[in-house]
Structure formats: C-alpha cells, structure tokens
Amino acid sequence: MTQIMLSRVAERVYWMARYLERAENTARMVGVYANLLLDMPRGIDLSWYSLVDINDTGEAFNERYKNRDERNVVKFMLADDTNGNSMLTSLKMARENARTSRDVVPQDTWEIVNELHLFAAENIQRGINRGQRHHYLYEIVKGCHQISGLFANSMNKDSASEFIRLGRTLERADMATRILDAGAAVILAAEESSTNISQIVWGNVLRSLDAYQPFLRDERGPVTGPAVARFLLANELYPRTVLFSLNRLGKALARLPHSSEPRQIATVIKDRVIAFDGYQDLGTSFRGYMNELQLQLASLHDCFADTWFALERNDD
Amino acid sequence: MKKGIDWKKYKIDYFYDELISAAGNPRVAGRQLVNHLASLSAEELENRRQTAEATIRQMGISFTVYTEEGNIDRAWPFDIIPRTISATQWQVTADGLKQRLKALNLFINDLYHDQNIIKDGVLPAHILKQSKNFRPECVGVTPPYGVWAHICGTDLVRDEDGKFYVLEDNLRVPSGVSYMLENRAITKRVLPELFEHDYILPVGDYTAQLFATLSSLSPRKIKQPEIVVLTPGIYNSAYFEHAYLAQQMGVELVEGSDLVVAKDDCVYMRTISGLERVDVIYRRIDDLFLDPEVFNKDSVLGVPGLMRAWQKGNVALANAPGAGVADDKVVYAYVPDIIRYYLKQEPIIPNVKTYLCDDPKQREYVLANLDKLVVKPANESGGYGMMVGPHATKTEHAKFARLIKANPRNYIAQPTLKLSTAPTLVGSGSLEPRHLDLRPFILQSRELYVTTGGLTRVAMKKGSLVVNSSQGGGSKDTWIVDR
C-alpha cells in the first residue's frame, strides 16, 4: 500500500489530536476539582492552585495573577491565552491544526472543531462563573467526544489516523502521570490532618480521568491510593491508563514507516511501567517516578519529531 | 398569516434585473423562485437568512482581508436569494467562454514561440514588449496540448440590454470556485423546497473535472499521477479555497517548503516515508514567487529549481508560468481580434468597449471623460487601484489623469456599465436590487469544460458597482434553470 503523508501534515494532525485531548482533560479536571473542593473537610489546606501545579504552569500564572483564588485559577485554566495549556488555547490550537490539515481528516472535522471553539470562546463566562460551569464543561467534553467519534468511525485507518493515535495516546499517558502526581501531592500535604481524606482524593483522581466506574468494575475493591495508582499506570483495559496508552501507541508505531527508534523508546517506557511495584508508598519517591515518566514521554515526542516532522530530513 | 414579498414594490429602476422584467413580472427562469418567495413571510425569510449565516460560520467559510491592523478572517458574505439564468441562454454563453479560452491558449502558445500574431500585424509589437506578465523564461517551452491557462475565471457582466459581456479574463490564479460550490451547499440547506419544482442544473462536478484536467497533464503516464495543490499558506486570502479543492480532489495540499527539486530536476514532496515524486502542481501562488532561483529571490513561498523542472517537462504547472501575459487589460482589448485570428470565428460573447490609454487619440478621450469612465490599471486584480469615474472626487480624477500621463500603457478605461441587478435581501425581509457580475470557470487540457453558471458576486451596498469580496462585496448562488 503506497500512502502519501506529508511530514508537515503528519505533525499537524498529531498536534491536533494532542490539543483536543488536552482540552478535554482540562475541562474534565476543572470540573472534578470544583467537585472535590466541596467535599474537603475544613482545615485541609487544598487550594485551587494545585491545578496550576499539575500542569507545570506556575510561572505563567504568577506572572499574570497575584491572588491564587478560584476565579483566577479557573480563568487561567480555561480561558487564559497566556497559558499555552488552557482549554481555550488548546481548542484554538486544535482548530488551527485542523484548519491546515483539512485534506486528511474527515470533512466534518473542521466544521465541528470550529463550532466547538466558537462555542467555548463565546460562552467562556459560563465556565468561569460557578453557576453554569458544570453544564458548560460537560458540553466541551461532549464536543471532544464527538470529534473522537468522527476519527474512529469516518476515517481511513491510514497514516493520518495513526498520527492522531500517537498524539492522543501520548497526551493521555502524560496526563495520567500528572493527575496521579497531583493526587500524591494532596495526600502528602494533608498528612498531618486527622481526617482521612484518602478516599475522597483518590476517587476524584479517578474521576479526573473518567475512570471511576471502570476502576470499580475491574478492581472490585476499595478505592485506595495503591489500587488507584496501579490501575491508572498498569491497567490494560481502560483507555486512559498509561499502559493502555503505551500499548496503543506501540500498535500505531508498528504501522508507520521508519519507526524503529520510537518503538525502542516506547518499549523501554512500557517495560518500566510493567516492572514498577512501588505502589505501597505513594510519597516523595513515587512523585519522582511520575516526573521521570513525564520526561521519558517528552523524549518520545522529540523522537517523533526527529523521525517524521523535521523538514530537513529528506535525502534517504 | 403575514404576507410575503410584495413584488409590486420591488423597484427595478432602469437597469436590467435578472429576476424581474417589469414591476411584479418574473422572467421565465425565475418564476418558481418569485412565487415561492411571495409565499414566505418576512419572519420566515429572516429565519432562512439566519440559518444561512449560522451555516457559514459553522462550515468556517471565510476569506481573509488584508488591512493595516493585520489580516482579518471574515465570514463569507452571502445573500440567500439565488440568481437565475435560463439554461438555453447559458448554453450559448458557455460556448462563447470555451471559444475564448481556446483562442487565448493558442495566443499564449504563439507568443512564446513564433509570435505569428505580431508578424501578421494583428497585435502591435510594443504591447508585448511592455507587458509585465510576459516571461522570457517561458520562451520555447511547449506545455502538454499547447495549453498554458488550464483554469480560467472569466468575469461576465450584463448591461442594460440584457446581454453578457466579458469584463476580464483571469488566467493566473483565479479564485472563487469553492465559494460557488459552497453557495450551492448553503442554498440547498436554506431553500430546499425549490429544488423539488425546478430543474436546477447541478454544479458539483467541478472538482472531478478539475482533477481530470490536472491528471491529463502528468508527464509520467501512470495510472495515479501525484497531484498537489500548492498554496502560499494559511495567511493567503484564498487559503480556504486551496484547502477545499485539495480535500475535494483527494490530493495533498502543499506549501513551498514541502516540495524540493532534486538533482534529477524532478519535483518531490517531503513525506513521512521520504521523498515522493510529484507530477502535477496546481499552483495557487503567483509566477514571481514560484521559484526564488529564477524570479523573486526573497520568496519563501516557492520552490528553488521549480522552473528548471517545468522547463524540462518533469512536472506540469497549472496554470503554466507566463500564462498571465494574456491576462492584461490591454491585451484584453485585442481578444476579439485574437479569436478571429486563430479560430476564424466571430466572438460569441462581446468585450466591453475599452479605451487604451496607450493610443494618443483614445487617451485624449479618456482624459476628457474621466468623470464618466472606469479607469483600471492593466495588471491588477481584486479591484485594487481602479477608479469609478462617476463616483470619484475631483481630486481622484486629477490623480488618475497624472497616473495615466506618467504611464499610459498601464491604464485602460471603460464606460461605466449599467450592471444588471438582482433582488437581494436587505434589512428584515425586504428585497432591493443590487448590482452583480458572474465569474464562470473554464477548464482546458485535452478537452474544454465550463462550470454550470459560476460565482455570482454582488455589491451589497446600494448603488455600488464594486463586487469584489475584498472591497465589501458578497455573493449569491447561481441557478441555471432548465424548464
């Protein structure tokens, strides 16, 4: 099968998928967090600012805002264009990438991405104010699902489709490590407190990845830190876990040309996730492990760029 | 129930109206449309208009306007009332358009070879010498079928006599065809009932015809030649169209940096599996940006070595470089003679009367009548740099008089046409006549093809004659009605 895929277009569909995934995750995360805060007992020092930390965007936030209150954090996470990871920025970038790769994605993609971005931008106040936030964020997540559905059902399973998969799975794996890390951070911060918040925190960690029900069905056990961490890292059945994402990513790589180097890196990361057994203590060393995984995933992205996206690479 | 459009109140003035012949009387092709609109209440009409607007926004149909503050992406301005033309009249017009492009291609090919038309005294030699769009690099090259302009957008206008005239031929990178196709898609959503009664000829085969035209140009005679659409990128005003056409044809949309000319003088694109040979490039960038080795050295839009590859016949360029030599408003004045010279036929569609400022006698007339004429630079498009005499100030008249005297070859003048009108929705639910033109698209390779109708552009401002989208014009769906 000869199939043409421009390097530039491959890069754009890859990023489109990453940004769509990021927008969806951010929307869900803000929603879950709002929910979590309502359940926190008094005296637990859990602030909205942790959301900023999860995404490593503290610097950009502090340049812009002094007050680390709900309104500023939610604004920063959803709407801020100085935050390269905000939901609106992600949708905008997804839109720009879709716009420049219209010829390889299903015809309706552009229309729906465009519509979703318009909806998100025009109604952003509904996301920032508490009253209608839930419904607004739900609409965003729904829009993202609609686009994923289009990719799954109305697109040739060709290279473009594989690059969409690469973008989506890498973003998911990365997001799972960040959310686990955030959960661990909250528990660490609350260690001195007498109230047991573990159940609430880990339950919401699962919900941030839409994984609460899948966890219960597969684990059939209580929501504890170790069980949740093991599930989100090493479960092979749920699509937003690190291992599932890496498996899918590996399948996509196998169908792409010149993929031996990225496959090697992906295998190293996967073996590490499978071999890991430090789930009993989710303290500082666990957080360090999450951080290392993030760095390895970043190096995998760099390898994609060198292998397929760089325009200089041509004379072979 | 509230009453719909009252056609008795629709004032057609002294212009030719496309839909209404005399107060309340529809032309044959528009009868169903007029009756249907009369049955819709003002609210219903307004609803339909809003549906169209929402559709356009959702579909992201946009074009870019260049302003001092940067580029603005505007939604495509669309009027929901279609423009109707009878199929019998269109057939004649289509024949005239084919005749014209055929002659123009013979003309271009002649200019880059023996120049018989000059030797035979039909075209004055100095006109070619001073042409900005003649490319010496193209001399001696023979593209497939001797055809240079494969895709042509010809602007037609109707004068008060109801006859079509050619206003200009766009032979370089004519745009607008995607809007023609999208206008139909919108109208089908907005006024679906009408498609049940009348036979409105479909327009949707254009992209298949374009694909066939481009395929036939391939230097490699293989089953699936590699065709690409070359765009200057997302900031170009017609980027929407470039992407649309690539998608509709199922070919790659490339930018200059995606392409490379290798040592074998063939063109390749950079893909995830390495370099892939390219056979045909539908280029949507101007000649001067095509190849920095030959033309504009600073161009980052083009591909170094592209001209070399084309001259050797290793890649087809549509339109061929240098085709713009016939898309010059001075050459335009000679097109009727060009048709007679090459085809030994009388032109089917007449030109608009044109005064060449280059000719001392005609220049004298132009300078004395600036307030009555439309003055246009010979090599501009998009309505830039022109002056509509009756609507211009004394200062502008004086400015154009200076410009003409300084560079007479660069200007032509035409009488101010009484451009035809068609009912256009203004305000809520009321119709007023607005001026319009028509841009059909003509394809030529082995065979000739004309779009069914074309893109109707309409001046949305009352009394305005400027239809260009960059200057505040809008558009309408164009119906060729077969009864």
* Structural domain boundaries in chain B: 355-415
Does residue B178 carry a pLDDT above 80? yes
- Distance from C-alpha of B387 to C-alpha of B375, rounded to nearest angstrom: 5
- Nearest Cα of chain A lies from the Cα of B426 at a distance, in angstroms, of 26
List C-alpha distances in Å: A255 to A98, A158, A252.
Answer: 22, 9, 5
Please tell me which residue, A196 or B51, carries the higher pLDDT value: B51
Helix, strand or coil for residue A271?
helix
As a three-state string, the secondary structure of A98-164 is HHCCCCCCCHHHHHHHHHHHHHHHHCHHHHHCCCCHHHHHHHHHHHHHHHHHHHHHCCCCCHHHHHH
Q: Is residue A197 within 8 Å of residue A40, measured between CB atoms?
A: yes
Does residue B383 carry a pLDDT above 70? no
Cβ separation of B243 and A99 shorter than 8 Å?
A: yes
Structural domains counted in chain A:
1
Quick one: what percent of chain B has pLDDT higher than 90? 64
- Nearest Cα of chain B lies from the Cα of A147 at a distance, in angstroms, of 14
Helix, strand or coil for residue B95?
helix
Domain interval for residue A130? 7-309
CA A284 centroid distance within chain? 22
- For B273, phi then psi, to 5°, come to -105, 10
CA B386 centroid distance within chain? 17
H helix or E strand, kind and range, residue A214: helix A212-219
Sign of CA dihedral B210, B211, B212, B218: positive
In a domain, A230, yes or no: yes
- Distance from C-alpha of B171 to C-alpha of B176, rounded to nearest angstrom: 13
Angle, in degrees to the nearest 10, between helices A7-39 and A107-122:
40
Closest CB to A115 among B58, B244, B254: B58
In a domain, A244, yes or no: yes
Q: What is the pLDDT of residue B67?
A: 56
A residues 245-264 closer than 8 Å to B (CB):
256-258
Q: What is the pLDDT of residue A1?
A: 42
Q: Give the tens place of pLDDT for each residue, B320-364.
A: 999 999 988 889 999 999 999 999 999 999 999 999 998 899 999
Is the CB of residue A6 less than 8 Å away from at least one CB of chain B? yes
Q: Is residue B402 within 8 Å of residue B156, measured between CB atoms?
A: no
Q: How many C-beta neighbours within 10 Å does residue B207 have?
A: 18
Helix, strand or coil for residue B455?
strand
In a domain, A2, yes or no: no
For residue B262, the chain A residue with the least C-alpha distance is: A315
Among A1, A5, A8, A101, most B C-beta atoms within 10 A, so best to mutate, is A8
Sign of CA dihedral B466, B470, B476, B482: positive
Cβ separation of A6 and B254 shorter than 8 Å?
A: yes
- Distance from C-alpha of B80 to C-alpha of B77, rounded to nearest angstrom: 10
Stretch B235-253: mean pLDDT? 88
Where chain A has pLDDT below 50, the residues are 1, 313-316
Q: What is the pLDDT of residue A34?
A: 80
- Nearest Cα of chain B lies from the Cα of A306 at a distance, in angstroms, of 11
Q: What is the pLDDT of residue A46?
A: 64
CB contacts of A311 in chain B (<8 Å) are 257-258, 270
The pTM of this model reads: 0.81
Stretch B367-385: mean pLDDT? 83
CB contacts of A7 in chain B (<8 Å) are 258, 270-272
Q: What is the pLDDT of residue A313?
A: 42
Stretch B9-21: mean pLDDT? 86
Question: What are the residues facing B283 on neighbouring strands?
Answer: B230
* DSSP 8-state secondary structure symbol assigned to residue B143: -
Q: Give the tens place of pLDDT for each residue, B276-311.
A: 999 999 999 999 999 999 998 888 889 999 999 999
Closest CB to B60 among A103, A111, A316: A111
Please tell me which residue, B243 or B217, carries the higher pLDDT value: B217
Question: What are the residues facing B106 on neighbouring strands?
Answer: none
In a domain, A109, yes or no: yes
In a domain, A316, yes or no: no
What architecture (CATH level 2) is domain B355-415?
A: 2-Layer Sandwich (3.30)
3-state helix, strand, coil in chain B (%, to 5): 35, 25, 40
Closest CB to A103 among B247, B270, B275: B247
